[in-house]
Structure 1
Amino acid sequence: MNRSALPLIVIAYVITMAAGRAAQNAPRQITWTFDRLDTIGGLPVKVDGNPNVIETPLGKAVELNGVDDSIYIDQHPLAGAEQFTFEAIFRPDGGAAEQRWFHLAERSPATGQLVELTGSSTRDANARFLFELRVINGNQWCLDAFVAGPGYSRALLFRDKLHPTGQWYHVASTYDGKMFRSYVNGELQGEAELAFKPHGPGGTSVGTRMNHVNYFNGAVRQARFTPRALTPDQFLKIAGTTALVLLASSAPAQKPTGDYLAFVGSYTHPTLTTTSAAKGIYAFRFDSKSDTLSPLGIAAEAVNPAHLWASPNGKYLYAVSWQSPEKMDTVAAYRIDHPTGMLTLINKVSAKGDLANQVVLDPSGTLAGTVTYASGTFTLYRVEAGGRLSEPFYTDQHTGTPLSPRQPGPKAHGIVFSKDSQFAYVAELGLDRVYSYRIDAANHTVTPLDPPFVSLPGGSGPRRLQLHPNGRFLYVNHETDSKVTVFEIHDGNLKATQTISTRPDGYTANNSTAEIQIDKEGKWLYVSNRGHDSLALYSVDPGNGTLTLVEYIPSLGRTPRNITIDPSNEYLFCANQNGENVVVFGIDHRTGHLTPTGSRQPVPQAAGIAIVKVQ
């Protein structure tokens, strides 16, 4: 062997070993699938709040509520990368204007912390990657891809690149050693030069920024991290979905399809001194074939349209104005444009009191009634040709002494009409009463029964009412003590036969009920719990109308204010006021159980819901 060749062999061996060690230590491509909450990518997960694993057309995904849901993983999957591609498949559901939903953070070499606050600011100083979004007009969003480190900071935010909420998207940011780029569904959103420096080890938060601000409302299906710059043809694909969804952001806007229109009211002024992002009544198109709820936009701007009701013929919508700044609460009539879901105001009339909280039409569609919370009044109107409301022809001002110091006085809160429109029943929360009225619809006269009301125990707080489809039983939920009372009906007179709790045994935290619904077969009854944030499900005895608790179903949002069963009796819609969303559940008629369809849409300060068949 030639001794002069030995040094070259040794050098080659050293170079080979060094290259092997470098390759071994180099970042590798990592994929995370969000289909469980105990581990992701083989790594343990820390969970905050109550995120849910849901079934979607793409497979399982993690859904987050935009309020306090988040997950944390103790790995920075792009640490050490000199170039990168950061990808995610997600569904933004609107909500808050700024949402920072995927955060990769370097752990500070000096302190070992993932977040280092700068003074009193919520901003942190650590090197980081972020996927953020901005919600525009409640139903569109744009991407904000961000990266920062020592000596560099760059955001790619382009507010003219808008996409509809409620659909699945692929997003990516890449860096090729010179240019930082962002993409939505493979379409370039923007680019800028960047003097990037690799990050050290760290961690990841999903659903919020690492310092617990700007929570995300929506779902995350998958993420992938690659230590080189990929081109769009190499990106993750949204498997199992249609080209329309895959290209939602780049294709021309398509008219939503569906067989139902859903209208959702909101609280534009939750209190006398506060405002919200809500603008009025929001319209959606619901497709029962795909269980998809698609936003159509703001159907009508209005102040605090807290409760909605659709006419039996599906042509008109009615809304109460709760706590308007002018202190002139009204009931409004709108004409529904079925092709677009937009509303045209027909007229407004006085609610004859302050804080109007419900409007209801009788089954014939010829009478409308409203109640006021602050004034304790029950008022009736004629529904005239073209959906117009007449001036009030009857108002009853409730009076009396409260049965409990918990109740401050008359506070009317709910109405239901009998199927033949000959009777109306009104829940009087402040006086712990349920009133009965005999109605002559032809002559527009109203007579309180004798006695005019039945009393519930002091501090019950009767709020809303539902009649059994057979007309023999009345159900009233109690706001204050979280119970339901069953009444037998005899020619308009009421006799209580059962009272049952809406809360789990041992649950002692604050709770109040909001809405009550019964399915059209009279087999299952649902009550929404605000505080426990659930829907209490009861089976209904067909003989005597009494209730048996079956289960508690999570409402998938905070403060479920309104629940409504659609005209087909197949779906229950739930408006979570402080969760700021509307969730659609499928009804299992064998068990009464509710299963989320996976279609959830944001509505700021969501309130009443009304659903009509598309014409």
Structure 2
Amino acid sequence: MKKLLLFTITIFVCLNFYSQHTYAFFGSFNRDKDTEGIFVYELDTINGNLSKVTTVKGILNPSFLTLSPNGKYVFACTESKTPNGGKVSSFEFNPENKTLTFINSQKSGGENPVYLTTHNGGKWLVNGNYTEGSVSVYPILDNGIIEPFVQNFQFSEGSINPGRQDRSHIHSTVFSPNFDYIFFPDLGADKIRAYKFESKKNEPLQVAEIPFTKTSLGSGPRHFTFHPNGKFAYCIEEMGGAVSAYSYENGKLNNIQRINTHSEKYKDDFESSDVHISPDGKFLYASNRGNENNIAIFSIQNDSTLKTIGYQSIKGKHPRVFALDPSGKFLIATNAQSGTVVVFKRNQETGLLKKIREKIKIKEVSCVQIRKY
């Protein structure tokens, strides 16, 4: 009996010691440093409930977040949509104490930072500035401190829409599967820019053999993602209301398909925004703002082209960014205009979505990142 009791206690302790927790990190346009700007919730991966863990004040408009490869640090675009502003900021997340602590900030190298990403080695941070159309590269120290940028690339040319494309507008910065290239969808120039990334150099961004891939004129490429197999990539086009699929090899993109993210009843004024693929690689999801406020759902065919299988109302307004949890069971959407966060259960066989919980209110919530610890 004593041996059985001891065995039971040991198993209980081990399960608790090695128990995993999943956290959702939300950014926002808080407009005021004295109000909360970043929010951390714990996601119950059984029923989809979100429980508030901590929040951060003292920062302005943390509009986009990304995490370090080890999950220890959270990096944010701050002072977004702030005249003559623009910074990138670093925070330390402690999952044991459930705290998020400010570390430091650096200038973003351009007005209105909108997207940032980290190299898988954890030593580099790359930021895209929308309004001025530039990209900045920062070294990251082991303690999470962001050092001043060592490279800043400024782009200028626009495209055919004078109201939206008067100049370059970098909207995302996305590493290739092997982290040896990085891609910059440029909404203003209708290009997906490409650079080699040589992480051991003091200035890692190097000119690629093919410096850009053209997209359809007036399409406005926005966000970009790779298939889990590393052989295909997908770009959502904000102004064109479409997703373009590409085959990928050694820094080179080859277009294989362009498919609408909207249904036939919508003819113009598209505001497509974000794109993600399920962990199993079988489905692609694309969000539409504006008139639609939904997520378009596609099955990924054997040749990696897309087939539309449905649309899911986002139950809010302006779904700027969404994310899937690592298990692929849940999709969390952030609706900036309605200030709501909505959790959907994902049918892993059909790819369809179903709203499962009441909305969480976060004023002008702008993005979400999900991480298991």
- What's the TM-score once normalised by structure 1's chain length? 0.55
Q: Tell me what 1:437 maps to.
A: 195
SS in 1 for 2:351: coil
Q: 1:373 to 1:611 in 2, by over 3 A?
A: same
Q: Tell me what 1:117 maps to.
A: none
Q: 1:518 to 1:322 in 2, by over 3 A?
A: farther
Q: Tell me what 1:266 maps to.
A: 28
SS in 1 for 2:254: strand
Hey, what's the Cα distance between the residues in 2 that align with 1:480 and 1:324?
20
The alpha-carbon deviation at position 277 of structure 1 amounts to 10
What is the correspondence of 1:203-352 to structure 2 with a 5 Å cutoff? 259-269=21-31, 279-323=36-80, 325=82, 327-352=84-109
Q: Tell me what 1:416 maps to.
A: 174
SS in 2 for 1:598: coil
Hey, what's the Cα distance between the residues in 1 that align with 2:75 and 2:158?
32
Q: Tell me what 1:491 maps to.
A: 250
The alpha-carbon deviation at position 509 of structure 1 amounts to 6.3
Which amino acid counterpart does residue 585 of structure 1 have in structure 2?
Answer: F
Q: 1:385 to 1:335 in 2, by over 3 A?
A: same
SS in 1 for 2:357: strand
Q: Tell me what 1:380 maps to.
A: 137
1:454 alignment partner, one of 200, 213, 217? 213
Q: Tell me what 2:325 maps to.
A: 566
SS in 1 for 2:172: strand
Hey, what's the Cα distance between the residues in 2 that align with 1:577 and 1:277?
19
Q: 1:325 to 1:503 in 2, by over 3 A?
A: closer
Which amino acid counterpart does residue 409 of structure 1 have in structure 2?
Answer: R
Larger radius of gyration: 1
Which amino acid counterpart does residue 29 of structure 2 have in structure 1?
Answer: Y
Q: Tell me what 1:579 maps to.
A: 338
Q: Tell me what 1:403 maps to.
A: 160
Instruction: Pick which of 305-314 and 392-401 moved more.
Output: 392-401
Hey, what's the Cα distance between the residues in 2 that align with 1:459 and 1:371?
20
Q: 1:378 to 1:317 in 2, by over 3 A?
A: same
Q: 1:375 to 1:326 in 2, by over 3 A?
A: closer
Hey, what's the Cα distance between the residues in 2 that align with 1:368 and 1:378?
11
Q: 1:530 to 1:278 in 2, by over 3 A?
A: farther
The alpha-carbon deviation at position 414 of structure 1 amounts to 0.8
Q: Deviations over 1:140-166 (max 9, x none)?
A: xxxxxxxxxxxxxxxxxxxxxxxxxxx
Which amino acid counterpart does residue 78 of structure 2 have in structure 1?
Answer: S
Q: Tell me what 1:518 maps to.
A: 277
The alpha-carbon deviation at position 499 of structure 1 amounts to 0.7
Q: Tell me what 2:310 maps to.
A: 551
Hey, what's the Cα distance between the residues in 2 that align with 1:455 and 1:325?
30
SS in 2 for 1:517: strand
Answer whether contact 1:333 1:387 (CA < 8 A) is retained.
Answer: yes
Answer whether contact 1:300 1:342 (CA < 8 A) is retained.
Answer: no
Hey, what's the Cα distance between the residues in 2 that align with 1:439 and 1:447?
6
The alpha-carbon deviation at position 462 of structure 1 amounts to 0.3
Q: 1:278 to 1:526 in 2, by over 3 A?
A: farther
Matched, 1:534 2:300: no
Q: Deviations over 1:553-611 (max 9, x none)?
A: 11111111111112222211100111211111122111111122215311000111122
Q: 1:279 to 1:514 in 2, by over 3 A?
A: same
Hey, what's the Cα distance between the residues in 2 that align with 1:572 and 1:597?
10
Hey, what's the Cα distance between the residues in 2 that align with 1:554 and 1:567?
23
Answer whether contact 1:421 1:439 (CA < 8 A) is retained.
Answer: yes
Hey, what's the Cα distance between the residues in 2 that align with 1:322 and 1:494?
33
Which amino acid counterpart does residue 315 of structure 1 have in structure 2?
Answer: K
Instruction: Pick which of 552-561 and 395-404 moved more.
Output: 395-404
Matched, 1:507 2:266: yes
Q: 1:357 to 1:610 in 2, by over 3 A?
A: same
Q: CA RMSD in A?
A: 2.0
Number of aligned pairs? 352
Hey, what's the Cα distance between the residues in 2 that align with 1:337 and 1:396?
34
Structure 2 gaps, min length 5: 1-18
SS in 1 for 2:143: helix
The alpha-carbon deviation at position 412 of structure 1 amounts to 0.4
Hey, what's the Cα distance between the residues in 2 that align with 1:300 and 1:536?
34
The alpha-carbon deviation at position 514 of structure 1 amounts to 1.1
Q: 1:474 to 1:331 in 2, by over 3 A?
A: same
Which amino acid counterpart does residue 405 of structure 1 have in structure 2?
Answer: P
Hey, what's the Cα distance between the residues in 2 that align with 1:446 and 1:611?
28
The alpha-carbon deviation at position 340 of structure 1 amounts to 4.8
Q: 1:378 to 1:362 in 2, by over 3 A?
A: same
Hey, what's the Cα distance between the residues in 2 that align with 1:391 and 1:323?
18
Answer whether contact 1:300 1:344 (CA < 8 A) is retained.
Answer: no
Hey, what's the Cα distance between the residues in 2 that align with 1:613 and 1:299?
20
Answer whether contact 1:423 1:436 (CA < 8 A) is retained.
Answer: yes
Q: Deviations over 1:62-113 (max 9, x none)?
A: xxxxxxxxxxxxxxxxxxxxxxxxxxxxxxxxxxxxxxxxxxxxxxxxxxxx
Answer whether contact 1:370 1:415 (CA < 8 A) is retained.
Answer: yes
Answer whether contact 1:487 1:496 (CA < 8 A) is retained.
Answer: yes
The alpha-carbon deviation at position 612 of structure 1 amounts to 2.2
What is the correspondence of 1:86-105 to structure 2 with a 5 Å cutoff? none
Aligned-pair identity in percent equals 26
Answer whether contact 1:573 1:609 (CA < 8 A) is retained.
Answer: yes
The alpha-carbon deviation at position 454 of structure 1 amounts to 1.3
Q: 1:276 to 1:386 in 2, by over 3 A?
A: closer
Which amino acid counterpart does residue 535 of structure 1 have in structure 2?
Answer: I
